[in-house]
Structures are given as structure tokens and as C-alpha cells.
Amino acid sequence: MSRRIVSVVLAVVFAASAAHAQDRAPDELPPSPVRLWIEAGLGYGGAGAGPNTEAGGHLSGRAAVRGMIGRVALIARTTATTGGASEYSRFVIIGPGTIYDGFFDAGLLTGYALPLGRSWEAIGAAGAALVWGSRAADNGCFGFCFSSGTSASFTPQVGLPLELGISFDVRGPLRIGLLGYANLNAEETFGGILLSGSFQVH
């Protein structure tokens, strides 16, 4: 008899606890362990002075999705970088006066976010990425022979993507800051510095 009474009491307690958990407001529920951010940035980027590229650069951009688990960051990113004017296109007279090399990557990175005071945060990350793009050329052979004012894609390859940024909390889910990125690869090291914005969606 006593066992039956204890069983009934425990059943009532568990039922009451479950009902209370369902009745709690959303802001009373435990926070999600994963925070999701959508990020985008524009700024200046370029490539090093390789065998076919002069030093210099132009507009660059980045788009990314970042997941935060505590202070650990998981980032899926893509970047677009315009290199300096190709030395193959310096003497083009007819058609485009200057043709620029273009570099792109898409990769996965992991890193760590470090709080700097109440509103500021620094983050660094590295990973692996696929690199592709095109080289400019004029009369002459660059892998193949091209007419004046053309460009050709180079073979996609694996590169090492790097990022280092600092941002501050503007209001609510929005953060704004500066982000430097790079990609180390056998074709051409490239990178840039961007004005970047992040919006927390989860």
C-alpha cells in the first residue's frame, strides 16, 4: 500500500514539473547553446606581386555565416578580391586599358572570440578553403595564347584562409567592426581589410 502511495505522489510531482516547464515564458527557457550570425563586409583588397600580378588591389567583399558555441566560432565564408593590374595587360591599347586578376575562395574556418570590455570583441579564425579565379593576359601566352584584353581561369586549388577582426555591439543583435582576411595558396596570396557587419538571427 505504501509503495502505491509513493508511486502516486511521484507521478503527481513529475506531472506538475512538466506542466510548469510548458507554461514558462520563452524568455524563461534555457538559452540555446548555439548563436547564429549572418555577416557581410566591403573594403579594400589585393594580391601580392606574383609572377603575373603587380602589387595593388581594389574593391573586395566577404559574406559568411558564423555559429558560436560559447566562445568557439565555426565560420562558413566566401570572399572576392581584385588583384593588381596584370603585367600582361599593361600595354593593351585597343579594348580595356587595364585588366585585373580576380581571386575567390569558399571555405570553413574555426576560431575563438575574445571579449574586450563590455561591448567590444576580437575574433581570430583559420581553416581550409577552395580557391579559384582568373588571370588577365594580352598578346602572348599565359598557359594558352590569348588575344588582347582577355582573361583565363586558373586551376582551382586548396588554400589556407585566415581572419582577424574586432567589433562592437551597436544595438541589440547588430555588431559593426573591422575584419582582415587572407588566403595563403600556391597560386597567389590575397586578402583585404573590410568594414563588416554582423546580425544575430538565432
C-alpha 43/C-alpha 58 separation (Å) is 8
Q: What secondary structure letter does DSSP report for 93?
A: -
For the four alpha carbons of 81, 86, 91 and 93, in that order, the dihedral sign comes to negative
C-alpha 190/C-alpha 82 separation (Å) is 9
Q: Is residue 61 part of a domain?
A: yes
- Cell 544575430 found at: 200
Query: pLDDT tens digits for 124-148?
Result: 999 999 999 887 754 444 444 444 4
Q: Is residue 81 part of a domain?
A: yes
The predicted structure's pLDDT at residue 106: 98
Q: Is residue 134 part of a domain?
A: yes
C-alpha 13/C-alpha 29 separation (Å) is 20
pTM over 0.75? The answer is no
Q: Is residue 178 part of a domain?
A: yes
Q: Is residue 107 part of a domain?
A: yes
The predicted structure's pLDDT at residue 185: 94
The predicted structure's pLDDT at residue 174: 93
Q: Is residue 156 part of a domain?
A: yes
* 36 phi-psi bin (left φ>0, alpha ψ -120 to 50, beta other): beta
Give the total number of structural domains in the chain: 1
C-alpha 20/C-alpha 86 separation (Å) is 68
Of 128, 79, 131, which Cα lies nearest the Cα of 107?
A: 128
Q: Is residue 8 part of a domain?
A: no
Range of the domain at 108: 32-200
CATH number at residue 99: 2.40.160.20
- Contact between 64 and 194 (Cβ < 8 Å): no
Q: Is residue 23 part of a domain?
A: no
The predicted structure's pLDDT at residue 54: 54
Residues facing 164 on adjacent strands: 124, 180
Under-50 pLDDT residues of the chain: 1-2, 5-6, 8-14, 16-21, 23-26, 29, 51, 89-96, 138-148
The predicted structure's pLDDT at residue 33: 84
